[in-house]
Amino acid sequence: MTRGISVIAAAAAAMLGAAACASAASITLIPSEVGPRVYGQVRGVGMVVWFDITEPGIAKSLETAGMETTRWPGGTPADAYHWQTNTMMQCQEHPFHANAHSTFDNFMQDVAIPAHLDTAIVVNYGSNRDCNGGADPAEAVAWVAYANRTKHYNITWWTVGGELWNRNTIDMHSQGGNPAQYAEVEATQYYSQMKAASPIPIHVCVDVNPRFPNWDSVVLSRARYDCVEMHYYAQGPHVDDERLIRNGALNLTKRIRTLKEELAAAGHPDTPIYLGEIGSTGGRTGKQTQSIVQALYAAQVIGEIVDEGIPRATWWLGYSNCYLPENGGDFSSSLYGYQNFGGGMIFSGGPANNCRASDVPPLGTLLPTADAFFVTKYFVRDGEHVVGVRANSLPDVKVYASTYRSGYALLLVNRSENQSVSIPVRIEGRSSGSGGTIVTYDKQLYDASAHGEWLMPTVSALPPWQGSVTVNLPPWSITAVQIN
């Protein structure tokens, strides 16, 4: 299997000037329309304690994809995890385990620090070591103190529990899954104590889910918090390519806006929203998770959350185990793709963790969704801001725009499986520029994986331009355009 970044001539990706288009399709950037601040920390990925994070090359792969943030030690399993001993208790018959190599310090030293990742931690709220009651809050407090006072890791994002609104989560308190009890325990035994344990300011988040307003209304009005952690999976056990590509990211935006309304109603309108987990399906994973389809969805997710001013997000997840057709995921011919494995991971873990050597590329290989993140690092730059954009006659193309250093950047997602499109791009108030960069990942590059060739996005130079820049979007493609 081969892998490489292709740097191609600018003429293959863009043409200069205001040449006539076959249709009325066009894009106009409107710099005078200033939108939300852009946060680089939306390009993040969660990591999990059951995978051996000391495997060589993991940090390098995350850095290559442009990740800026990570999350540890996982979601629901965090409520059975005891960080000091790196052990996972089998509470409520959950079959979780912790890899002996994946200690907190190994994670920081082998992954987070060398990959320059800002880390978020989920502390155990749900269970004690005997699985007969809730976690000891002192365990979370000690973790904060160890991370920031003893080791000086300067971890500033902490969440109390993982998906406590979920009926399948681990909550051994006397009223498991009760929002009032969660809010009371968090407010009286976690919040102030965790903040006092850190020599630097930290954010303490609570679990929310705008799909469950009865949970959110209680927690948001009674808990103490600096931020809220929300999760989003676009589909359940029934997956569909067209539905995911067309509606998945847009429905996330609706969910975010509902949460903003809930926060305003609770008197906390400016509370930061952390998207701690994002994925394409909350059911058993199949081949869609490893195809260009999920990559197209992921790119739109980045565009949508940038437009919404979200400060932090982590995809679920970086490295994990494979699910094979016999494990129950969807591998039907109605879904596009070639892979005989599924999984939440967006980087290859190699032939381990139920992954067959004949199926997967070498450890550290960027899978299609990680390729989408690679493209978006040319669009998302911390400290920039969203700008207005007008797209004409482009029903299949999602368009996002922001400032980028002294120029501008576009993120373009062509959602048509079979049609390419050529689009003139103009900038109000600008008639020329010194050039730029175009980065593309598309269906043709992905299709090479059918033969064991995992190609990365192409990167090309944009030469000086006059009047407009015409960008060519291949079918099912993700393109970032930096215009100077």
Total domains present in the chain: 2
Q: Is residue 342 part of a domain?
A: yes
Both 360 and 439 in a single domain?
no
Q: Is residue 402 part of a domain?
A: yes
Are the C-beta atoms of 288 and 330 separated by less than 8 Å?
yes
Given a cut of 70, whether residue 14 has pLDDT beyond it is: no
Q: What is the domain-level CATH number for residue 450?
A: 2.60.40.1180
Q: How far is it, in rounded angstroms, from Cα 12 to Cα 19?
A: 16
Both 271 and 211 in a single domain?
yes
Phi-psi region of 184 (alpha: psi -120 to 50; beta: other; left: phi over 0): alpha
For the segment 192-218, the average pLDDT, to the nearest whole number, is 99
Both 316 and 409 in a single domain?
no
Tokens 């992921």 found at: 298
First and final C-alpha spacing in the chain: 36
Residues in CB range of 377: below 8 A, 6 or more apart: 43, 65, 66
Sign of CA dihedral 68, 284, 256, 395: positive
pLDDT digits (tens, 9 = 90+) for 400-442: 999 999 999 999 999 999 999 999 999 999 999 999 999 999 9
Confidence (pTM):
0.95
Both 27 and 154 in a single domain?
no
Q: How far is it, in rounded angstroms, from Cα 294 to Cα 241?
A: 8
Domain termination site, one of 376, 394, 420: 376
Both 84 and 161 in a single domain?
yes
Both 200 and 256 in a single domain?
yes
Q: Is residue 479 part of a domain?
A: yes
Both 215 and 364 in a single domain?
yes
- Mean pLDDT across the chain: 95
Q: How far is it, in rounded angstroms, from Cα 305 to Cα 39?
A: 10
Beta strands 477-483 and 436-442, pairing class? antiparallel
Domain termination site, one of 323, 345, 376: 376
CA separation, residue 116 to residues 66, 70, 100 (Å): 10, 10, 24
Both 346 and 422 in a single domain?
no
pLDDT digits (tens, 9 = 90+) for 231-260: 999 999 999 999 999 999 999 999 999 999
Q: Is residue 19 part of a domain?
A: yes
Both 141 and 270 in a single domain?
yes
Are the C-beta atoms of 310 and 39 separated by less than 8 Å?
yes
Q: What is the domain-level CATH number for residue 321?
A: 3.20.20.80
Going by the DSSP 8-state scheme, the letter that residue 251 receives in this structure is: H
pLDDT digits (tens, 9 = 90+) for 84-139: 999 999 888 888 899 999 999 999 999 999 999 999 999 999 999 999 999 999 99
How many H helices and E strands in the chain? 11, 23
Q: Is residue 79 part of a domain?
A: yes
What is the pLDDT confidence band of residue 22, given thresholds at 50, 70 and 90? very low
Q: Is residue 1 part of a domain?
A: no
Both 368 and 226 in a single domain?
yes
Are the C-beta atoms of 275 and 210 separated by less than 8 Å?
no
For the chain, how many residues are written? Answer: 484
Both 76 and 155 in a single domain?
yes
Both 279 and 407 in a single domain?
no
Given a cut of 60, whether residue 313 has pLDDT beyond it is: yes
**What range does the domain containing 211 cover?**
40-376
pLDDT digits (tens, 9 = 90+) for 276-301: 999 999 999 999 999 999 999 999 99
Q: Is residue 472 part of a domain?
A: yes
Domain termination site, one of 321, 353, 376: 376
Given a cut of 70, whether residue 23 has pLDDT beyond it is: no
Q: How far is it, in rounded angstroms, from Cα 348 to Cα 360?
A: 7
What element of type H or E holds 35?
A: strand 26-37
pLDDT digits (tens, 9 = 90+) for 208-232: 999 999 999 999 999 999 999 999 9
